[in-house]
Amino acid sequence: MAITPQEVRHAQPSMPDNLTIARDARLWPIEEIAHRMGVPGEAVEPYGRGVAKLDLAAADALAGRPRARYVVVSAITPTPLGEGKTTTAIGLVQGLQQLGHAATVALRQSSMGPTLGIKGGAAGGGYSQVVPMERINLHLTGDIHAVTAAHNLLAAMVDNHLHHRHGIDLDPENIRWQRVVDINDRALRHIVTGLGPRTDGVTRQSGFEITAASEVMAVLALADSLQDLRRRLGRMVVGYTRVGEPVTAEEIGAAGAMTALLKEAIKPNLLQTLEHAPALIHAGPFGNIAHGNSSIVADRIGIHGGDFLVTEAGFGADMGAERFFNIKSRASGLAPDAAVLVVTVRALKYHSGRYRVVAGKPLPAAMQAESPEDVRAGAANLIKQIDNIRAHGVTPVVAINAFPSDSPGEHAVIRHLADAAGARAVVTTHVRDGGAGAIELARAVIDAADNGSEFRFLYPDDMPPDAKIERIATRLYGAADVAFAPEARRQLEAYQEQGHGGLPVCIAKTHLSLSSDPTLLGAPTGWTLPVREVRLSAGAGFLYALCGDVRTMPGLGADPAAARLDIDDNGEITGLY
């Protein structure tokens, strides 16, 4: 997550804001960045200053090179402010470079919904950023718009099928395929289409989701080739017939055209950090109902592009990292060598339950005062998330993302607690100091990777899907039990009959708690996970269980970032963070 201007000034009052730091950067030619990875020139497709697309042939060209050590960056359960996973991943790669290692970072692509909402951009922060910042946060190479177009083409063809009453008896009351747009717009959550004369289509209820929540985006991130993308798009389920049979995009006749629209979008984007480390920015699946990780094709290029490949998983270790391990690693065949768990002093104070934090608002003054006891009171979440990573046989390193208001005593508490839980904790100041501030973190990650992991999935493929959900809930979330609604049970039985029982599962719940209740902080136990519905993402290749009210179309806040975005007299963008 990016760090806002207010947070940068809090981190180091004399520091310029993120945009100024990014604008002052001197970019190397993008061809030189690709050359440092070993990517042949013919696979590099420049896309304006500082950006390139990499042809998928780059993965084959690099396949004979040594495999990099693979590191995933996750975090404790996030607070409304975020804990800095993106900045830490970028800082770590720069720290590895400072130690003489060739390192690449692979990140999800920024969605304009959060960028123009309250979160801000996703290019990092301070002196641990990927540049050019404006390009990353505003369109980049248009991949997200291509996903939007492909998704909405399928939606249009579904409605066209209904209008012309083609051969498949598609039930208008049982269509699961909505439309998408890459803007936060709560007014589009529920809509009625086809109003007007009969020639304007079939009148029915529908809605919009944000593009990051599209199954097309999840498919783009998990496909390993253009041909695999075509197959996955074809098997996406758009709805059901009147007798309950699934209807796919292939049957609607849309999969081929969708693939054509995504032909360029499947190519990873290459950029660079402020210290000229390669950065692969590609795909941005939603972190709640999807796997929340960047693309497999980017990783297959980066895994042979140097000594280390560092990637980031969305939300906390119970969500993004769990899906990285059990969904993405299953699909890619790439096992991680180490993990980084990001924590901040303020986050542990928040998890103590003693303070109220609101995104976009200043932290309570008392929360910034030295209090090792508050840190200790919120540490149960850190200990549980360390355990969640170790449950997959991976060695975690705890990165203490430091702020000037932290005290040595508070850092000492985190180090002691992490050590007792079997993880080494180090302080990192990469936001203020760039790679130089992440050298100790880089050394700890090298040690963890050198000692090796014994990676294992949390559950086998052949475990029934309800048991997979129970395994995640009880082993990683701390639930005592899982309560399946009758409809969820019926859906699970139907998916098994259709041959989908061997798919991994993704649990859609709040990211603000280990539980399904966002108000339960720390590491709650003794609660029951309610599963009200289970849906199929046949193209992406997983089932997802809906637990609680998970919004797939965010709304704008009272003071959205878009209200501050502008251009100056020189045509330069202002107000972006």
Q: Are residues 443 and 491 in the same domain?
A: no
Specify the pLDDT at position 499: 94
Residues 236 and 345 in one domain: no
Instruction: Single out the residue in 246, 273, 306 at which a domain terminates.
Output: 246
* pLDDT value for 13: 55
Tokens of 175: 């269509």
229 plus 277 within the same structural domain = no
Q: Do 301 and 435 belong together in one domain?
A: yes
Instruction: Assess whether 231 and 136 both reside in one domain.
Output: no
Element (H, E) at 164: helix 143-164
- CA torsion angle 488 490 495 496 (round to 10): 110
226 within a domain of the structure (yes/no)? yes
Question: For residue 576, what pLDDT is reported?
Answer: 85
Asked whether residue 457 is domain-assigned, the answer is no
118 within a domain of the structure (yes/no): yes
CA 574, CA 577: separation in Å to the nearest integer?
A: 9
Nearest in space to 484 (alpha carbons), one of 455, 453, 505, 502 = 505
The pLDDT assigned to 289 comes to 86
Inter-residue contact 3 to 18 (CB < 8 Å) = yes
pLDDT along the chain (577 residues), means of 10: 41 77 93 97 95 97 96 94 92 98 96 81 90 92 97 97 88 95 96 94 95 97 98 97 95 97 98 98 91 97 98 95 98 97 96 86 88 96 98 97 95 98 97 97 97 93 97 98 97 95 96 94 96 96 92 88 89 85
What tokens appear for 203 in the block? 């009148």
- Is the residue at 100 inside a domain? yes
Among the candidates 416, 451, 486, a domain finishes at: 451
- Residue ranges making up the domain that contains 191: 144-246
DSSP lists the bridge partners of residue 192 as 205
Task: Kindly state whether residue 252 falls inside one of the protein's structural domains.
Answer: no
Identify whether residues 323 and 438 lie together within a single domain: yes
pLDDT at 8: 41
Q: Are residues 476 and 541 in the same domain?
A: yes
CA angle 121, 123, 129 (to 5 degrees): 140
Q: What is the CATH number of the domain that holds 485?
A: 3.10.410.10
What's the rounded Cα separation, in Å, for the pair 323 and 240? 28
Residues 446, 301, single domain; the answer is yes
Asked, for residue 562, whether it belongs to a domain, the answer is no
In a domain, 553, yes or no: no
| 230 alpha-carbon distance from chain centroid | 23
pLDDT value at residue 119: 65
**What domain count does the chain have?**
3
551 falls within a domain: no
End-to-end CA distance of the chain: 11
Last residue of a domain, one of 451, 486, 505: 451
DSSP class of residue 29? Answer: P
Q: Does 62 lie in the same domain as 174?
A: no
> Which tokens go with 241?
């017939």
Residues 225 and 290 in one domain: no
- The pLDDT of residue 12: 53
Quote the DSSP letter at residue 319. Answer: I
The pLDDT value given to residue 215: 97
Question: What's the gap between Cα 380 and its chain centre?
Answer: 24
- Distance between CA atoms of residues 188 and 255, nearest Å: 25
Domain with residue 235: its CATH number is 3.30.1510.10
Mind giving me the DSSP string for 502-534? Answer: TS-EEEE--SSSSSS-TT--S---S-EEEE-EE
153 and 187 share a domain?
yes
**SS3 letters across 270-295:** EEEECCCCEEEECCCCCCCCCCCECC
Residues 383 and 411 in one domain: yes
Phi first, then psi: what are they for 470, rounded to 5°? -65, -40
Report phi then psi at 353, rounded to 5.
80, 10
461 vs 273: CA distance, rounded Å: 38
